[in-house]
Amino acid sequence: MPRALVTGITGQDGSYLAEFLLDKGYDVYGLIRRSSVVTDQRIRHLIDRVELIDGDLLDQLSLIKAMRTARPDEVYNLAAQSFVPTSWGQPVLTGEFTALGVTKMLEAVRVADWPVRFYQASSSEMFGKVQEVPQTENTPFYPRSPYGVAKVYGHWITVNYRESYNLYACSGILFNHESPRRGLEFAPRKIARAVARIKLGKQMEIRLGNLDARRDWGFAGDYVRAMWMMLQQDAPDDYVIATGETHSVAEFCELAFRRVGIDNWRDYIVIDPALLRPAEVDLLIGDPTKAREKLGWQPEVSFEGLVNLMVDADLAMEAQS
Ligand code: NAP
Ligand code: G4F
């Protein structure tokens, strides 16, 4: 059976990827960092089928030990400090996790004495103040947050290890992807949950920042399939993974409220200046042509389908609690 090591297995993408790999017949190992509270909610349904290994991106030796325990054929490096606003509050920590953590994981892969394929979770945040519309693998980066800057480092160190050491290392430049498992602080989940709670009379309003920002939003389940596809090719390469559509935060709100039968959605929104960012990424829209042509990858969930499935899931969850 093929073996995979997933860092960030307790996160949104880690949970979908673990499910996907188990279905493909992989032995799945997940890196998990010590916490005083339980962090395995997203993978609890898989807990008997995955092997969890203690380790932290900050601790080089723990990553080498994780590699020796799992002896993976494929490593998916998903762990990061992934929330953009936190990266202004904790820029050094974000750099340690999201930038240097990649080098630590790559070093652990480099010293392995068996062949390993490596996936790095790069981000459309690297395009930031976009230099081209739509964004492709060749669009120059112009990050707008300490998180985006850290991801640019992670991207280039992955390319560098591929070229320096002939590693099979791929960087997936993934645009925003969401699901009912998304962290509550990210805009789409915050909106979906608040709409569900408003519908059920549990909340009166949603406090949001910039409603005009536009993102290329897809479904996380579709995006983890692309990660795996990248590592099945003859040669390593970098790919943009996106839907090719862009929508504003306001459009997300409108569709989410419409799903529960509320048309006067603006009456429920309070703009909170504290939620505006020091530097915003105004527009993201990816061109997934290379992924479609070389990997045969296409998203299966539409924007409206995504909004509906997130609102429906939060309605069901909120109705029970
Ligand atoms: P997420 O839900 O925030 O998950 C992040 C994961 O990283 C969690 O499992 C977290 O563990 C782990 N982690 C954080 N710091 C760590 C450390 N020092 N050592 C070990 N593990 C650590 O993120 P996601 O949405 O699944 O995204 C996965 C990856 O894709 C991230 O690298 C993100 O930056 C990148 N990305 C995401 C998107 C998107 O739209 N979702 C788009 C492009 C790129 P805990 O559970 O212990 O916190
Ligand atoms: O949902 P967001 O916090 O996601 P953001 O900043 O685009 O980052 C996500 O996608 C990246 C890929 O492009 C990943 F690399 C990253 O790890 C993360 O997964 O914010 C989306 C937009 C922003 O323009 C923000 O200003 O929504 C706007 N927004 C408006 N009100 C808000 C809010 N964002 C949040 N989080 N909370 C608000 O109340």
Q: Could you report the per-residue pLDDT of 52-71, keeping only the tens digit for each?
A: 999 999 999 999 999 999 99
Distance separating alpha carbons of residues 201 and 82, to the nearest angstrom: 31
Distance separating alpha carbons of residues 71 and 292, to the nearest angstrom: 31
Q: How many CB atoms lie within 10 A of CB 7?
A: 29
Helix axes 101-110, 146-165, angle to 10 degrees: 20
- Angle, CA of 299, 303 and 309, to the nearest 5°: 95
Question: Which domains does the chain show, CATH number per domain?
Answer: 3-177+217-241 (3.40.50.720), 183-215+246-281+301-320 (3.90.25.10)
Asked if 125 is an active-site residue, the reply is yes
The rounded radius of gyration (Å) of the Cα atoms in the chain is 19
pTM equals 0.98
Asked if 123 is an active-site residue, the reply is yes
Distance 97 CA to ligand 1 centre (A): 10
- Angle, CA of 302, 305 and 311, to the nearest 5°: 140
- Please choose from 44, 78, 123, 240 the residue to mutate so as to test ligand 1's pocket, defined by most ligand atoms within 8 A of CB: 78
User: Of how many residues is the chain composed?
Assistant: 321
Question: Using an 8 Å Cβ cutoff, are 27 and 1 in contact?
Answer: yes
Distance 182 CA to ligand 2 centre (A): 12
Q: HSE, CB side, 13 Å, CA atoms: give it for residue 47.
A: 8
Per DSSP, the three-state class of 9 is coil
Distance 81 CA to ligand 2 centre (A): 13
Query: Which tokens sit at 32?
Result: 């998990």
- E runs forming strands in 101-241: 117-123, 168-174, 177-178, 206-208, 214-215, 218-219, 238-241
Q: Which stretches within 12-59 are classed as H helix?
A: 12-23
* Ligand 1 atom at minimum distance from 39 CA: 46
Which of 62, 82, 123, 145 is labelled catalytic?
123
Question: Which residue's structure tokens are 């320096």?
Answer: 164
Q: Which ligand is nearest to the CA of 285?
A: 2
215 Cα distance to chain centroid: 14
Please work out whether the CB of residue 12 comes within 6 Å of at least one atom of ligand 2.
no
Using CB atoms within 10 Å of the CB of residue 118, give its burial: 0 to 12 exposed, 13 to 18 middle, 19+ buried.
Answer: buried
Asked if 147 is an active-site residue, the reply is yes
State the pLDDT at residue 152. Answer: 99
Residue ranges, the chain, pLDDT below 70: none
- Angle, CA of 109, 113 and 116, to the nearest 5°: 45
Question: Using an 8 Å Cβ cutoff, are 116 and 168 in contact?
Answer: yes
